[in-house]
A and B are shown apart, each in its own frame.
Chain A
Amino acid sequence: MADTFTIADKVLKSRLLLGTGGLSSISMLSEIVEAGQIEVATVALRRIDPDSKESIYKELVGNKVEILPNTAGCFTAQEAVLTAKMAREAFETNWVKLEVIGDEHTLWPDVVELLKACETLVNDGMDVLAYTTDDPIVADRLVNLGASAVMPLGSPIGSGLGISHPHAIELIVETVDARVPVILDAGIGTSSDACHAMEIGCDAVLAASAITRSKNPPQMAKAIKKAVVAGYLARNAGRIPKNFHGVASSPTEGLATW
Chain B
Amino acid sequence: MTINGSSSELENGTTVFTVVGEWAVEHRKDSSKISGIAVAKNGDVISKSNWATTEIKSGDTIEILTAASGG
Contacts and interface: CB of A to CB of B under 8 A. Distances in A.
Interface in B12-71: 23, 26-27, 35-40, 43, 45, 47-48, 63-71
Contact of A44 (B5, B38, B70): B70
A178 interface: no
A158 B70 CA distance: 11
Nearest to B4: A47
A72 B71 contact: yes
B36 A55 contact: yes
A44 B63 CA distance: 15
Contact of B70 (A19, A47, A48, A91): A19
A45 B38 contact: yes
A209 B26 contact: no
Given A90-B36, A90-B37, A90-B38, A69 B45 contact: no
Given A45-B65, A57-B35, A82-B43, A50 B27 contact: yes
B68 A46 contact: yes
B26 A50 contact: yes
Given A48-B4, A87-B38, A90-B38, A69 B71 contact: no
Contacts of B5: 47
A58 B70 CA distance: 15
Interface in A46-85: 46-50, 55-58, 60, 67, 69-70, 72, 82, 85
A184 to B, nearest CB: 14
Interface stretch (A21-29, A139-147, A165-173, A193-201): A21-29
Interface residues of A, number: 36
Interface of A: 19-23, 26, 42-50, 55-58, 60, 67, 69-70, 72, 82, 85-87, 89-91, 157-158, 208-209, 212
A109 B10 CA distance: 40
A57 B71 contact: no
19 contacts: A19-B71, A20-B70, A22-B71, A42-B71, A44-B68, A47-B5, A48-B65, A49-B68, A50-B26, A55-B66, A55-B67, A57-B35, A57-B67, A72-B70, A86-B38, A86-B63, A89-B39, A90-B37, A158-B71
B66 A90 contact: yes
B66 A45 contact: yes
Given A45-B68, A46-B68, A86-B65, 12 more contacts: A19-B71, A21-B69, A43-B69, A44-B68, A46-B66, A47-B66, A48-B4, A49-B68, A50-B26, A86-B45, A90-B65, A91-B67
A56 B40 contact: no
A125 to B, nearest CB: 14
A209 B4 contact: no
